[in-house]
Every structure is written in C-alpha cells, then in structure tokens.
Amino acid sequence: MKTLKYSRQRESIKACLMGRRDHPTADDVYLSIRQEYPNISLGTVYRNLNLLVELGEVQKLSFGYGPDRFDADLIPHYHFVCKNCGTIADLPLKPFPELNREAQQCCEGRIDSHSTYFYGMCRNCMFREPPQD
Amino acid sequence: MKTLKYSRQRESIKACLMGRRDHPTADDVYLSIRQEYPNISLGTVYRNLNLLVELGEVQKLSFGYGPDRFDADLIPHYHFVCKNCGTIADLPLKPFPELNREAQQCCEGRIDSHSTYFYGMCRNCMFREPPQD
DNA sequence: AATATAAATAATAATCGTTATTATTTTTGT
DNA sequence: ACAAAAATAATAACGATTATTATTTATATT
C-alpha cells in the first residue's frame, strides 16, 4: 500500500496556508514558500495542495473565473467574491443545511452537499469606484 | 459605436443551445454545429457563446471542475452536478433571495448575487454503482 | 550506522480550456 | 455596385494545472 512520508515542503505549505487569511492561489503559496525553500517547484506546491485537500486538511475554492484558491479554515463557511477587485472574503455564516433539503425534494438523485459563492462589491471598491449608474 | 451584425453561425449556435437540455460545453456545441457548418472554428463558437452570455440570451455555468457549460434556459434555477458521472441536471427550484439577504447582514460590501451548485449522485449512478460503504 | 525501499522532489514537458491575432469573407448601409 | 465594419476560419498564444522522469530524501530493516 501507499504510505505517506513526511516532507518539509508539505509542512511548510500547510503552515503557510494556516498563517494567512487571504485564500491564496497555488502560485501565491509557491511565491511564499520560495523564501524558505528557494528551489521548490510549482508542481510540488500543486501536488501537496491537492494532497492536503484529499486528506481533508485544506479546502479548495473554485468560483467561475481565475485560478483556484486554498483555505485552511475548516470551519464551514461561505465566501464572498468582489467582482471588481477579485478579493475573497470569509462570510461568518454557517452553511444552510435546509438548502440541501429543499433541493433534495425536487431531485431524483441523492444530494450530498452544495457550494455557494456570493458576488458583489467589497467595501474598499465601493469607496474607490465611481458609484454605478 | 460597435454594431452587431447577423451571422448564420451565431444563429445556429443559439438554436443548438435552445434545442437541448444537457448543458453542453463549448466543444459539445462545436461538434454539433459542425454537422451543419463543417468548417466553423472552435474560436467562433467560444466567441459567440460569450457574446450570447453578454447579451443575456444564454447563461454560463462554472462549477469547480471541467469546462464551462452553457444553458439557454433563462428561467432562474439551480443545478445539480453528479460527482460520479458529471451530468448536470436542472433543479426546478427558484433561487432563494433570502440567501443574499442573510449574507448581506454579515458582509461589509454589497452583495448582488450568488451562485449555488448542488453535488451528489444522480439516479442513474445510484443504481449502477455499488452502494457506498 | 549502513542499506534497501518507497515516496517526494525539482525540473520540465505536456495537457486542457480558453482567448488573442490576422488575413479573408460576409453583412449591411449608402 | 461599392465601401465600411464586423464576423469568420485558421492558428498561435495563453494561463492553470497535471504528468513524466531522473534524482534526492525519508523511513524501516538489518
């Protein structure tokens, strides 16, 4: 069988993710880790991020456009995406289980989960941008 | 200003989308249109699909993995994704505006919309696949 | 501590989905 | 019929991600 072996790179990747709140992309993580391990390769970052997702230690966020993001905060929560600047923010909002129940009532298959992203304009952009007409 | 000109290819693309319920990818549409216009190019399909989305005549679906899908059904509704076979199904479920309201209460920016996808196993796969342990 | 193994790595190529470029064709207004 | 603008087919380029491979590293066993 395939056993998991320790790797300092993986530790560093996980530590990096746990240390930030900005939902970095694989490339963001790569740039950050490079300061400690200057010749880590991007492929290693991707492989370990995916591994951590499989292990359930990290979650991957995919919303419509741009590269995927990673989040080490395992407490279930929704995300907000600013359509203007692309920033992702955590919403301190517990996922609604009743959504799955509602959907189940009109679905012939079995519903296990849902993913919801909220879109709009973040506070920063609201002040910086000209008001919409 | 930039005016829109008729194109038979665009008409065919829209007709194709309106004629099917399976949420095809750009490539699916391409293969279908090729029967009528054997040397249409994939770029033309992408360009027109995006144009139709901008015009609000078609919606684009992006959920986590794989290529984007397109849907000519403009009545707002949610979608179900089978994690086993990848099929997309419409859920005859009106989007919940209260979701936006709930999220707005704990968001400093302005929330305009949300996108929700439900994941699970479709009826077909439930019967075909060994029951999960 | 030395050795054998299996897994992880860095470097790099390859893939996938999509967008950009450009010379040519088609639409449309005069 | 003609000119101007837009759309096209063909193709190159792109960004994000995965696959390949020779080398290095971690770990279990001697």
| pLDDT greater than 50 at residue A132 | no
Q: Verify that A20 and A80 share a domain, yes or no.
A: no
Considering the domain architecture, whether residues A83 and A56 belong to the same structural domain is answered as no
* Best CA proximity match to B25, nearest among B65, B66, B54, B56: B66
Quote the crossing angle between the two packed helices A26-33 and A42-54, to the nearest 10°: 120
Domain with residue A79: its CATH number is: 3.30.1490.190
Q: Which domain holds residue B105?
A: 75-133
User: CATH number of the domain that A50 lies in?
Assistant: 1.10.10.10
Domain count, chain B: 2
B67-70's contacts with Cβ under 8 Å and 24+ in sequence apart are B67/B25, B67/B26, B67/B27, B68/B25, B68/B26, B69/B23, B69/B24, B69/B25, B70/B17, B70/B23, B70/B24, B70/B25, B70/B26, B70/B29
Residues A65-88 have a mean pLDDT of: 92
Question: A91 with A111, same domain?
Answer: yes
Q: Is A4 exposed, middle or buried (0-12, 13-18, 19+ CB in 10 A)?
A: exposed
Q: Mean pLDDT over all residues of chain A? A: 93
A40 and B CB contact within 8 Å = no
pLDDT at residue B23 is higher than 90: yes
Looking at the fold, whether A92 and A32 belong to one and the same domain comes out as: no
Q: What is the rounded CA–CA span in Å between residue A10 and residue A44?
A: 8
Last residue of a domain, one of B61, B83, B112: B61
Q: CA–C1' distance B131–C19 (Å)? A: 43
pLDDT of residue A84: 85
Using the 3D structure, point to which of B61, B91, B108 is the last residue of a domain: B61
- pLDDT higher at A91 or B129: A91
Q: Does the pLDDT at position B133 exceed 60?
A: no
Minimal-distance CA residue of chain B relative to A96:
B99
Q: Are residue B3 and residue B46 in the same domain, yes or no?
A: yes
Residue A85 has pLDDT above 60, yes or no: yes
Please give the nucleotide, over all strands, whose C1' is closest to the CA of residue A45.
C9
> Quick one: B84 and B46 in the same domain?
no
User: How far A89 CA sits from the closest chain B CA (Å)?
Assistant: 9
* pLDDT tens by residue, B43-98: 999 999 999 999 999 999 998 889 999 999 999 899 999 988 889 999 999 999 99
**In a domain? residue B96:** yes
Give the contacts of A114 (CB within 8 A, at least 6 positions apart).
A95, A99, A100, A103, B116, B117, B118, B119
Do residues B56 and B80 share a domain?
no
Residues A7-44: tens digit of each pLDDT: 999 999 999 999 999 999 999 999 999 999 999 999 99
Percentage of chain B modeled with pLDDT above 70: 96
pLDDT(B131) > 80: no
Q: Which residue is it, tokens 């741009």?
A: A66
Confidence at residue B110, expressed as pLDDT on a 0 to 100 scale? 96
In a domain, B8, yes or no: yes
Cβ neighbours of B102 in A, within 8 Å = 93, 96
Shared domain for B79 and B108, answered yes or no, is yes
Q: Are residues A3 and A51 in the same domain?
A: yes
Given this model, what pLDDT does residue A1 score?
78
Q: Locate B88 and state its tokens.
A: 């997309």
The number of C-alpha atoms within 13 Å of B49 and in the hemisphere containing its C-beta is 26
A61 and A1 share one domain: yes
Confidence of residue B129 (pLDDT cuts 50, 70, 90): low
Residue A131 has pLDDT above 90, yes or no: no
A128: contact with B, CB 8 A cutoff = no
For residues B10-39, average pLDDT: 96
Domain termination site, one of A53, A68, A83: A68
The mean per-residue pLDDT over the stretch B10-21 comes to: 96
Same domain, A13 and A38: yes
Residues A96, A62 share a domain: no
A132 to chain B, closest Cα gap in Å? 12
Q: Which residue has the tokens 């929704």?
A: A78
Helix, strand, coil percentages (3-state) for chain A, rounded to 5, are: 35, 20, 45
B69 within domain boundaries: no
- Whole-angstrom distance, CA of residue B92 vs CA of residue B61: 16
